[in-house]
Amino acid sequence: MKRLLLIALLPAVVLGSAEPHVDAARMLAHGISTGDQIIVGNALAELRSLSCKGDPQASELLGEKYFSGREEFAADPNKAELFLTHAAKHGVKGSAITLVMHYLKSPPTAQTLREAAIWLRVARIEEEADSPRYRLAESGMKVASAGNPNLLPVEDEVAREAALILHAIRNDLLAGEPGPCQT
């Protein structure tokens, strides 16, 4: 009987991931695909808990969901920015580009164009500058700034801020910092 139980539990052990955010993402996908709101709620709670504890991949998953507003998520720009910034500051691939798109989604201001320019520079160096997503973000930046030349950030400031972020990413200076949850 003990052997039968052990054999029955083996697939659960083998299929489990060493990275908790992967398991939570799988659980979320399963809940969404089956329409099981309890599983969806548990998966969201787990992702949020992981993100609050500082898991940048969990933050990226939540940020992407809140940015896109797909599936079980209502689009929430404030939450998207919060989670994506945490992920991007930790060097999670794709999060800097999504953050640029987030800033370009609303009417341009000096602040949003500055933030978009900084994260676009980080993405160009940290991610693939020839990827379709990067080119889309770069084009979006050109369009947003074309009609608003007086809102463009000073290039030296953008370069300096991007260099500080890249330094923190490459030297893992933010490791151990708490996640993006508000107190």
pLDDT digits (tens, 9 = 90+) for 104-142: 998 888 999 999 999 999 999 887 788 899 999 999 998
Q: What is the mean pLDDT of residues 148-171?
A: 88
Residues of the chain with pLDDT > 70, as a percent, come to 89
pLDDT digits (tens, 9 = 90+) for 3-19: 433 333 334 434 455 68
The residues, ordered by sequence, that sit 6+ positions from 171 with a Cβ below 8 Å of its Cβ are none
Q: What is the pTM of this model?
A: 0.82
pLDDT of residue 182: 59
pLDDT digits (tens, 9 = 90+) for 19-55: 888 888 888 888 888 998 999 889 989 999 999 999 9
pLDDT of residue 71: 74
Q: Specify whether the CB–CB gap between 42 and 27 falls below 8 A.
A: yes
pLDDT of residue 159: 92
Find the angle CA(77)-CA(140)-CA(76) to the nearest 5 degrees: 10
Q: Specify whether the CB–CB gap between 106 and 132 falls below 8 A.
A: no
pLDDT digits (tens, 9 = 90+) for 65-117: 999 998 778 899 999 999 999 999 999 999 999 999 999 998 888 999 999 99
- Has residue 155 got a pLDDT over 90? no
Confidence of residue 2 (pLDDT cuts 50, 70, 90): very low
Please state, rounded to an integer, the average pLDDT across all residues of the chain. 85
Confidence of residue 183 (pLDDT cuts 50, 70, 90): very low
